[in-house]
């Protein structure tokens, strides 16, 4: 009975970890939980008696709970198939990760000496303390690398929504790590820090009293790396290459009436707007002629989501630039977004003010392959039009968070137009120039963005998922090394 309760306790810890991790994401947005969300499941995997089948269950419960909760809006929106794909994929990710951690990650054995050691000036050359700190860092490296490469592998099969590192966009300087490693580096940092937090608490309990500097080395080096990463991000924000500035007016009233949208746009004509963006409009007979009487189509461009339905659902986009009117139609696509495969859409950019722009509509804005494809085609700015997605505000907020992550990773600004209560202008560094939560009473959001050069790309944009591949190499080498070590021990060549 005692053993059963012990096993149930570890499963409960995994369940708690999955809940904490999901609460860090929209719509709950408890970002700080990312620093402790993995700690419960890691405690169950590393601090309790180990069984291979129990590690599988613990990891599966953790991953399944996270995937099921963070994508629960799909069930609300009656997209059960999409929810199932995400639930199963995260369940498998967690099960494999739990098996790996349970089998290959080991923490130093408990020291029987519980004597309180005072900290003396210059003291810290304690071999046992150093070895434990280094062992903790090695365990954190392997654990974080395993999660990172599995998360990346999931993103190869399904649209890479809600990777763990997405939450760190709340810290803009630290978020700049994505320009070098993509989301993989952010996920690695989060998991690494969680394991160091666990080992620190364990060490305090097992070695009470004042510890030497060497005993804190794993903590100090982890905090130092995170601090330096944030400091590097802050420096990057201050020293980015200056690009040509474009003034944007995002018109997002709760209407599709052409006259109202034109009236709001005319109020901004003295601000030297380069591009007007209308969230959604219903064009009538003669409306294009009325635009000719304004600055739109002459000194300014217009990109508008269009509708022909009474409910205002997007059916395409109209692009009006000097000398050209282009209409894009939204062709019917599969209803399931979260399933293996790609959308296969051909991007249609347009040129305005010596820059290349592209429109993405609804689920297209949630496809990382299309965002990457836009950068590969030297498109400089992304304009996203999104209807209220099934499942309520959580779906739109998660789509925006993921789109913001991908655009920062690749160094492209985004204009996001969803509803009156959800619209934003985002720079290539991820900074919100303006968004509706900051100005809820406004129907027009204005701001300037710096347009990068066509071939200007981030390190991640040039070299792709190199960091995730490196994490995969670490995982494979660790698994092979552990296998060889056990083989030698079993054969008696190396003393246990």
Whole-number pLDDT of residue 333: 57
How many other CB atoms sit within 10 Å of the CB of residue 481? 11
Residues 363 and 304 in one domain: yes
144 inside domain = yes
Whole-number pLDDT of residue 21: 96
- Residue 143 vs residue 394, higher pLDDT: 143
Residues 419 and 342 in one domain: yes
Whole-number pLDDT of residue 320: 86
| Residue 214, burial from CB neighbour count under 10 angstroms (0-12, 13-18, 19+) | buried
Residues 208 and 284 in one domain: no
Model confidence pLDDT, tens digit, residues 18-59: 999 999 999 999 999 999 999 999 999 999 888 889 999 999
Question: H or E segment at 11?
Answer: helix 2-23
301 Cβ neighbours under 8 A, 6+ residues apart: 274, 275, 276, 319, 320, 321, 322, 352, 353
Cis peptide bond N-terminal to 27, omega within 30:
yes
Model confidence pLDDT, tens digit, residues 127-162: 777 778 888 999 999 999 999 999 999 999 888 899
Whole-number pLDDT of residue 176: 94
Alpha carbons 389 and 411: distance in angstroms, whole number: 26
450 inside domain = yes
Whole-number pLDDT of residue 13: 94
Please check the confidence at residue 448 and state whether its pLDDT lies above 80: yes
Residues 178 and 323 in one domain: no
Please check the confidence at residue 398 and state whether its pLDDT lies above 90: yes
Question: H or E segment at 350?
Answer: strand 350-352
Stretch 469-480: mean pLDDT, rounded? Answer: 92
Task: Let me know: does 84 contact 76? Beta carbons within 8 Å.
Answer: no
Range of lowest pLDDT (191-205, 262-276, 319-333) = 319-333
496 inside domain = no
Model confidence pLDDT, tens digit, residues 330-379: 655 556 788 776 555 678 888 888 889 999 988 888 889 889 988 888 89
Whole-number pLDDT of residue 352: 86
Please check the confidence at residue 248 and state whether its pLDDT lies above 70: yes
Whole-number pLDDT of residue 492: 63
Whole-number pLDDT of residue 495: 45
Stretch 236-249: mean pLDDT, rounded? Answer: 84
Model confidence pLDDT, tens digit, residues 261-282: 888 888 887 788 889 999 988 8
**∠ Cα 242 246 252 (to 5°):** 135
Stretch 443-449: mean pLDDT, rounded? Answer: 88
Task: Let me know: does 329 contact 306? Beta carbons within 8 Å.
Answer: no
Domain of 349, in residue numbers = 245-459
Range of lowest pLDDT (190-194, 215-219, 309-313, 324-328) = 324-328
- Taking alpha carbons only, the member of 33, 10, 35, 11 closest to residue 22 is 33
Whole-number pLDDT of residue 122: 43
Residues 265 and 186 in one domain: no
Task: Let me know: does 133 contact 217? Beta carbons within 8 Å.
Answer: yes
How many other CB atoms sit within 10 Å of the CB of residue 36? 16
Residues 257 and 386 in one domain: yes
Q: Give the best-scoring range by mean pLDDT among 203-207, 333-337, 404-408.
A: 404-408
Dihedrals φ, ψ of 369, to 5°? Answer: -65, -35
Residues 478 and 415 in one domain: no
Alpha carbons 56 and 395: distance in angstroms, whole number: 30
**What distance, in Å, lies between the first and last C-alpha atoms of the chain?**
32
* Angle, helix 217-238 to helix 183-206, in steps of 10 degrees: 150
Please check the confidence at residue 440 and state whether its pLDDT lies above 80: no
How many other CB atoms sit within 10 Å of the CB of residue 183? 31
Domains in the chain, number:
2
Residues 320 and 413 in one domain: yes
Distances (CA, A) of 190 to 174, 411, 418, 458: 11, 22, 30, 22
Alpha carbons 420 and 436: distance in angstroms, whole number: 7
Residue with tokens 């305090």: 204
Alpha carbons 226 and 223: distance in angstroms, whole number: 5
Stretch 435-459: mean pLDDT, rounded? Answer: 81
CATH number where 433 lies: 3.60.110.10
Whole-number pLDDT of residue 120: 45
Whole-number pLDDT of residue 496: 41
Model confidence pLDDT, tens digit, residues 98-125: 999 999 998 887 765 555 555 444 444 5
Whole-number pLDDT of residue 210: 58
Task: Let me know: does 191 contact 143? Beta carbons within 8 Å.
Answer: yes
Residue % of the chain over a pLDDT of 90: 43
Mean of all residue pLDDT scores within the chain: 85
289 inside domain = yes
Residues 189 and 281 in one domain: no
117 inside domain = no
The 244-251 sheet, strands edge to edge: 324-329, 316-321, 301-306, 275-281, 244-251, 444-451
Which stretches of 129-268 are assigned E, i.e. beta strand? 244-251
Residues 473 and 449 in one domain: no
Residues 90 and 235 in one domain: yes
What pLDDT band is residue 445 in, cutting at 50, 70 and 90? confident
Whole-number pLDDT of residue 354: 85
Whole-number pLDDT of residue 343: 55
Please check the confidence at residue 220 and state whether its pLDDT lies above 80: yes
222 inside domain = yes
118 inside domain = no
**∠ Cα 465 333 93 (to 5°):** 40
Range of lowest pLDDT (321-330, 353-362, 475-484) = 321-330
Please check the confidence at residue 434 and state whether its pLDDT lies above 90: no
Task: Let me know: does 383 contact 303? Beta carbons within 8 Å.
Answer: yes
Residues 76 and 189 in one domain: yes
Alpha carbons 269 and 302: distance in angstroms, whole number: 13
């Amino acid at each position: 009975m005692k053993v059963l309760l012990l096993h149930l306790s570890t499963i409960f810890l995994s369940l708690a970890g999955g809940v904490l991790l999901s609460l860090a994401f929209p719509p709950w947005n408890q970002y700080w939980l990312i620093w402790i969300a993995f700690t419960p499941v890691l405690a169950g995997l590393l601090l309790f008696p180990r069984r291979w089948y129990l590690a599988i269950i613990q990891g599966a419960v953790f991953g399944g709970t996270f995937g099921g909760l963070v994508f629960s809006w799909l069930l609300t929106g009656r997209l059960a198939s999409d929810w199932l794909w995400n639930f199963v994929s995260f369940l498998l990710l967690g099960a494999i990760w739990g098996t790996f951690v349970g089998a290959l990650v080991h923490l130093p054995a408990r020291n029987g000496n519980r004597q309180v050691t005072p900290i003396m000036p210059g003291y810290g050359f304690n071999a046992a303390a150093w070895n434990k700190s280094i062992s903790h860092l090695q365990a954190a490296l392997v654990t974080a690398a395993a999660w990172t490469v599995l998360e990346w592998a999931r993103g190869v099969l399904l649209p890479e929504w809600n990777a763990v590192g997405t939450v760190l966009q709340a810290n803009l300087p630290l978020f700049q790590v994505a320009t070098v490693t993509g989301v993989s580096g952010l996920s690695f940092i989060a998991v690494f820090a969680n394991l160091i937090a666990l080992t620190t608490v364990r060490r305090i309990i097992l070695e009470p009293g004042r510890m030497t500097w060497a005993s804190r080395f794993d903590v100090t080096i982890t905090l130092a790396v995170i601090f330096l990463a944030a400091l590097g991000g802050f420096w990057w924000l201050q020293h980015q290459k200056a690009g040509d500035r474009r003034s944007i007016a995002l018109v997002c009233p709760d209407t599709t009436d052409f006259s109202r949208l034109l009236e709001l746009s005319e109020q901004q004509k003295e601000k030297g707007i380069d591009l007007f963006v209308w969230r959604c409009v219903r064009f009538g007979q003669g409306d294009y002629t009325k635009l000719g009487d304004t600055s739109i189509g002459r000194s300014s461009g217009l990109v508008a989501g269009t509708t022909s339905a009474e409910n205002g659902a997007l059916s395409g986009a109209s692009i009006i630039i000097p000398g050209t009117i282009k209409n894009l139609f939204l062709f019917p696509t599969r209803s399931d977004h979260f399933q293996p495969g790609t959308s296969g859409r051909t991007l249609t950019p347009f040129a305005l003010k010596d820059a290349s722009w592209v429109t993405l509509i609804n689920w297209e804005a949630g496809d990382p392959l299309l965002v990457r494809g836009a950068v590969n085609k030297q498109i400089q700015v992304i304009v996203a039009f999104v209807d209220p997605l099934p499942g309520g505000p959580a779906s739109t907020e998660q789509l925006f968070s993921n789109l913001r992550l991908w655009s920062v990773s690749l160094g492209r600004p985004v204009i996001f137009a969803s509803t009156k209560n959800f619209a934003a202008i985002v720079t290539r560094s991820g900074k919100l120039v303006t968004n509706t939560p900051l100005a809820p009473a406004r129907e027009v959001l204005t701001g300037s963005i710096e347009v990068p050069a066509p071939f200007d790309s981030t390190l991640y944009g040039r070299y792709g998922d190199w960091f995730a591949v490196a994490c995969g190499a670490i995982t494979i080498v660790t698994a092979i090394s552990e296998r060889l070590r056990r083989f030698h021990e079993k054969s008696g060549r190396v003393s246990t």
